[in-house]
Structure 1
């Protein structure tokens, strides 16, 4: 899942070397925390959050029902 997120996000940003994903496993699911360079934050979120919503849609669809735990994607500053 981490590779999928990186494949989607890196072409969108100007500083792909600053794209990092931290994974936190909790009792209610797995949270992928995406952090990017501050200048790229707007590109990842998009107007009215449309890009972020699209990224989440693809990630959640890829996870599907094959995962036992719920998947969350969080964009952090």
Structure 2
């Protein structure tokens, strides 16, 4: 899932080298993925009204269904 998020984010931003994804596994089985991008690319990843960020979250949640896991995507500075 980290690779999927990183691939999608790299396609959206102007500086793909600054894309980083960090994974944390919670005790309840939830996977938390923290996405960070370059300072000029946050707007591109979040999108108007958060539409792009919500689309990324939806795709990742759908990819977690076969594994019966819960995924949270956080966009961090």
Q: Normalized against structure 2, the TM-score is what?
A: 0.91
**1:49 alignment partner in structure 2:** 50
3-state SS, counterpart of residue 24 of structure 2: strand
Structure 1 stretches lacking a partner, 5+ long: none
Matches within 5 A, 1:1-77: 1-28=1-28, 29-64=30-65, 66-77=66-77
Structure 2 stretches lacking a partner, 5+ long: none
Query: Post-superposition, which runs of at least 4 consecutive aligned residues in structure 1 deviate over 6 A?
Result: none
Q: Considering only aligned residues, what root-mean-square deviation do their CA atoms show, in Å?
A: 1.0
3-state SS, counterpart of residue 41 of structure 2: helix
Q: Normalized against structure 1, the TM-score is what?
A: 0.91
> C-alpha separation between the residues in 1 aligned to 2:68 and 2:54?
22
